[in-house]
Amino acid sequence: MSDVTTVQQLASAMGTPINHLLEQLYKAGIKVDGGNSPITESQKSQLLLYLKQERSVGTELKVPKKITLKRRSYSEIQVSNSGGRSKRVNIEIRKKRTYIKRSVILEQEQERLAEAKTERQERYREENSTVVNNPQEPQENSIKPIDTQVVQDSPQEETKLTARADQVEASKSIEELEQVNEPKEQELAENLGIEKSDSQDNKSLSTSALDDSVSNSKNKVSKKNKPDKDSPRESNDTDKENKKEKHSYKEQSLNSDKFIGKNKKNRPKKAALTIKHGFEKPSTPIIREVVIPQTITAAELAQKMAVKAAEVVKHLMRLGIMATINQALDRDTAVILVEDMGHKPKLLEENILELTLNEQQFIQGIKKVRAPVVTVMGHVDHGKTSLLDCIRRSKVVSGESGGITQHIGAYKVHSKKGDITFIDTPGHAAFTAMRARGAKVTDIVVLVVAADDGVMPQTIEAIQHARAAEAPIVVAINKIDKPESDPDRVKQGLANHDVISEEWGGDIQFVPVSAKTGIGIDNLIESILLQAEMMELRASSEGTAKGVIIESRLDKGKGPVATILVQSGTLRKGDILLTGIETGRVRAMLTESGLEIEEAIPSTPVEIIGLSGTPNAGDEAIVVPDERKAREIAEFRQSKERENKLARQHPAKLENMFNEVNVGETQVLHLIIKADVQGSAEALSDSLAQLSTDKARVKVITAGVGGINETDVNLAVAANAIIIGFNVRADTSARRAIAEKGVDLHYYSIIYNAIDEVKKALTGMLEPEYQESIIGLARVDDVFRSPKFGAIAGSLVIEGVIRRNNPIRVLRDNIVIFEGQLESLRRFKEDVQEVRAGTECGIGVKDYRDVKVGDQIEVYEKIKVDPTL
């Protein structure tokens, strides 16, 4: 500027009309005569000072809030096409950058936050006051402001919106870009305020794009909510004064434009808003309530907390627990983990499902007198079975016609004075098994005492059982037909145990009977009914049926069959039953006479078909309104049962039977007997059961035929029982389960040995010095006949080691068929002393020629066991 000397020259240098400059000079207090007047350096400084001052006065209005710079560059690249020829492609890059003062952004951000808050509050209010039919669709109230604001907003705001939108993408507004004069960027920046207003008039493509967007939005929204406002311009006028709403729009648009992106033109505003909310980062972490059952896997926990399973595993590691995602975690661990991850654990109410069941189980209707349920008890051979048979013969068969009498575990007799239900399983086992399951089945105990034998140990035991069950006793002095019968001896014997007859001043009825001749049976029935009358046994036959399982079995043709004694309500054909872990619809109901009936009232025993499996005697059976619920509860019980089984820490051991007995407590030794034949199973079961003493009782849980399988092992775990294998062996899965769960398994081949050992265990004398240990098992894959050795079993050693000099057993289907020694053990025609697992060998069994393919050869040794262990 130093070479400028006249006003004219200065005006052209500044690009200002001469008159405008003269005016400015005048206002600045510089006196000049005209365009040709010279102008000094000091005058120029004075003018600059004036101009600066003038500009600073109007800062508020004139300084733009943002500056947009646009740049376009061209280049060329060489590309080769599929034909291998190259071609040149022109590239045009358009850049647009908008500068906005930080203070402006902050201000906008604050406004946006405030707006978002208000919006949230509004939405909260709406949600709490109105029922949203479709949660995807915003309510009319929340759309309204957006709708009107969009169309009414000032063009200035629209430009602003465009500029922001374009910041994200390379602008499509070619026209606008063409107006850009690159060399004058700085100057343009200074004059932006003016240019912006120009662009408003020009109606840039961006602006019209926004309009499109706006009207799209408008149309979409208005179609649903405001059919009367089709034109955006119309609503513009009507709502213009609504300053608050206008402000709100500004914020909405500033927010939403981030997401409009390339499809700004097509995407309705509503969608943009939805997205905005979708991306809104929660200001506080979401605390979830995590319901924790007895056990839960890491994967399930992850799902409940809405986190990745890997995250849970990582957290567990931090807690020092190495777990896979499918590994079940115990409740305590799960609680700690959930708390650690910032959520709220909630323990699952164990019997919540059961509780809901019980709620509907309340007894409905008037209670009417019901038949008493009687169990016959007494010493062995005193005539329990005979008495039950006698009553059944005389009362059931004669009383009903039609069906064939069958054993269903209980039967009902009819007499003129009333009905009585007899539990058809004599003895104490069934009674105690039911009681152990918490089932109160028996109302009255008929104590059978043989008049020729008097009070015996099991008579006393029966008295104790009856007392424990709080069931009154009616004494049947049996075998009075016998000449040597002495009823008074019985009375005396029982009086010694506080069972005093009415004649002797007590309150117990004594009835002399003969199961053989039938004498006194009617009197016995009368006495039972009298006892029942005093007890005022009542039940309602209305409402949901409830009962107890007396026995169950698996029938080849019918499937699972169970006898239920209905205790309240009426059981009907078609009802959905839940019992223990089994469910099912009652497909058929049969009485003890084999008659099919449609419904059973309280105290009626019925055999039902239709259950999913065989429930246990003593299991409660209830009718559930819906099948799904029944299954749900059954599954819940199943999982609980599994957990309980696994939770068992101390499996029963024959040796340490007395280790944990408290003084004065009767220890019960539970046995599961498996034998090669039915006769052995029965003999063992009876002999072992008779070993019961005052201190310890033997309870045979099951006595069956066949190899020991996994089910037996599981049963042993559940019942804390010892398994006795008589000439049978455990199969592979059972052996694995035995090792895993530490079940005590004893093999015997001589009944006497089994009895002897159990006897010693019962008296606390068992000091096992030698124990058999199976060291190897080979499977016979082929049998060769050798003139020298006879039958040679071409075998594969599948477990352990086969030793030439150890005793062996030959097993067929896990049943011992031969016991002896090896005659030869060969490998590749060479005699060897031992062969290890995974190796083939030839085995010759001494004095046994009947070995077959599929047999197993078991090698064992007798090892000394330290009794202190």
Binding-site residues for GTP sit at: 378-385, 424-428, 478-481
Query: What span, in angstroms and rounded, lies between the C-alpha atoms of 108 and 450?
Result: 103
Which of 70, 196, 382, 809 touches ligand GDP by CB under 6 A? 382
**Closest of 22, 24, 23, 26 to residue 7, by C-alpha:** 22
The CB-of-453 to ligand GDP minimum distance in angstroms stands at 10
Using the rule CB under 6 A, which residue among 209, 515, 684, 730 binds ligand GDP? 515
Distance CA 426, CA 375 (A): 7
Going by C-alpha positions, the residue among 529, 536, 527 that lies closest to residue 502 is 527
φ, ψ (nearest 5 deg) of residue 262: -70, -30
Q: Which stretch binds ligand GDP (CB under 6 A): 26-34, 374-382, 528-536, 712-720?
A: 374-382
Residue with tokens 């119309």: 234
Which span (127-135, 381-389, 644-652, 722-730) binds ligand GDP, by CB under 6 A? 381-389
d(CA 494, CA 491): 5
Q: Does 386 bind ligand GDP (CB under 6 A)?
A: yes
**Least Cβ distance, residue 433 to ligand GDP (angstroms):** 17
448/808 with CB nearer ligand GDP? 448
Distance separating alpha carbons of residues 869 and 863, to the nearest angstrom:
14
Give phi and psi for 426, each to the nearest 5.
-70, 165
Nearer to ligand GDP, 382 or 746 (CB): 382
Select from 96, 250, 479, 670 the one that contacts ligand GDP (CB under 6 A).
Answer: 479
- Minimum Å distance from CB 527 to ligand GDP? 17
Collapsing DSSP states into helix, strand and coil, what is residue 813? coil
* Tokens matching residue 742: 């530490």
Q: Phi and psi at residue 17, in whole multiples of 5°?
A: -60, 145
Kindly state the smallest distance separating residue 530's Cβ from ligand GDP, in Å: 22
Q: Does 265 bind ligand GDP (CB under 6 A)?
A: no
* Nearest distance in Å: CB 411, ligand GDP: 16
Which of residues 426 and 472 has its CB atom nearest to ligand GDP in the complex?
426
Q: How far is the CB of 295 from ligand GDP (least distance, A)?
A: 45
Of 363-371, 478-486, 753-761, 813-821, the segment contacting ligand GDP by CB under 6 A is 478-486
- Least separation in angstroms between CB 812 and ligand GDP: 36
CA distance 810 to 475: 53
Give the residues across from 510 on adjacent strands.
475
- Report, in Å, the least distance between residue 380 CB and ligand GDP: 5
What is the closest distance, in whole angstroms, from the C-beta atom of residue 451 to ligand GDP in the complex? 8
Output 14 or 519, the one with its CB closest to ligand GDP. 519
Smaller CB separation from ligand GDP, 217 or 458: 458
Tokens found for residue 132: 């949203």
Q: What's the per-residue H, E or C state across 161-227? A: HHHHHHHHCCCCCHHHHHCCCHHHHHHHHHCHHHHHHHHHHHCCHHHHHHHHHHHHHHHHHHHHHCC
Instruction: Name which of residues 681 to 710 contact ligand GDP (CB under 6 A).
Output: none
Is 465 a binding residue for ligand GDP by CB under 6 A? The answer is no
CA atoms of 474 and 677, how far apart (whole Å): 39
Phi, psi (degrees; rounded to nearest 5) at 346: -135, 120
- For 563, the enclosing helix (H) or strand (E) is strand 559-568
| Smallest separation, CB 465 to ligand GDP (Å) | 15
- Give CA–CA dist 753/742, Å, rounded: 23
List CB contacts of 621: < 8 A, sequence separation 6 or more.
Answer: 546, 547, 548, 549, 562, 564, 577, 578, 579, 615
Residue 533 to residue 529: CA distance in whole angstroms = 6
Choose the stretch contacting ligand GDP; rule: CB under 6 A; options: 240-248, 382-390, 676-684, 749-757: 382-390
Count residues near ligand GDP (CB under 6 A).
Answer: 16
Among 501, 514, 604, 680, binds ligand GDP (CB under 6 A): 514
Instruction: State whether the Cα torsion 851-857-862-866 is positive or negative.
Output: negative
Q: Can you point out the beta strands (E) in 679-721?
A: 696-705
Choose between 446 and 561: whose C-beta lies nearer to ligand GDP: 446
Q: Closest approach of Cβ 389 to ligand GDP, in Å? A: 7
769 touching ligand GDP, by CB under 6 A: no
Comparing CB distances to ligand GDP, the nearer of 207 and 478 is: 478
d(CA 195, CA 159): 12
515 DSSP β-pair partners: none
CB of 621 to ligand GDP, least distance (A): 27
Q: Does residue 383 bind ligand GDP (CB under 6 A)?
A: yes
Q: Is residue 304 a contact point for ligand GDP (CB under 6 A)? A: no
d(CA 236, CA 276): 25
Residue 640 found at the interface with ligand GDP (CB under 6 A) = no
- Considering beta carbons, is residue 383 or 418 the nearer one to ligand GDP? 383
Token pair in block for residue 327: 């590994």
CA distances from 846 to 154, 789, 853 (A): 110, 9, 17
- Rule CB under 6 A: say whether 482 interacts with ligand GDP: yes
**Residue with the two structure tokens 């069950």:** 469
Comparing CB distances to ligand GDP, the nearer of 140 and 481 is 481
Query: Do strands 559-568 and 856-864 pair parallel, antiparallel, or not at all (unpaired)?
Result: unpaired
Of 417-436, binders to ligand GDP (CB under 6 A) are 426
Alpha-carbon 453 to chain mean position: 58
Part in contact with ligand GDP (CB under 6 A); list of ranges 51-59, 474-482, 704-712, 834-842? 474-482
380 scored as a contact of ligand GDP (CB under 6 A): yes
* Stretch in the footprint of ligand GDP (CB under 6 A) among 1-9, 79-87, 259-267, 479-487: 479-487
Choose which of 70, 370, 384, 465 interacts with ligand GDP (CB under 6 A).
384
DSSP code at position 405: P
CB of 836 to ligand GDP, least distance (A): 53
- Binding ligand GDP (rule: CB under 6 A), the pick from 94, 265, 331, 516 is 516
- Comparing CB distances to ligand GDP, the nearer of 479 and 735 is 479
- Please tell me whether residue 348 binds ligand GDP under the rule CB under 6 A: no
CA gap 792, 811 in Å, rounded: 16
> Applying CB under 6 A, which residues contact ligand GDP?
378, 380-386, 426, 478-479, 481-482, 514-516
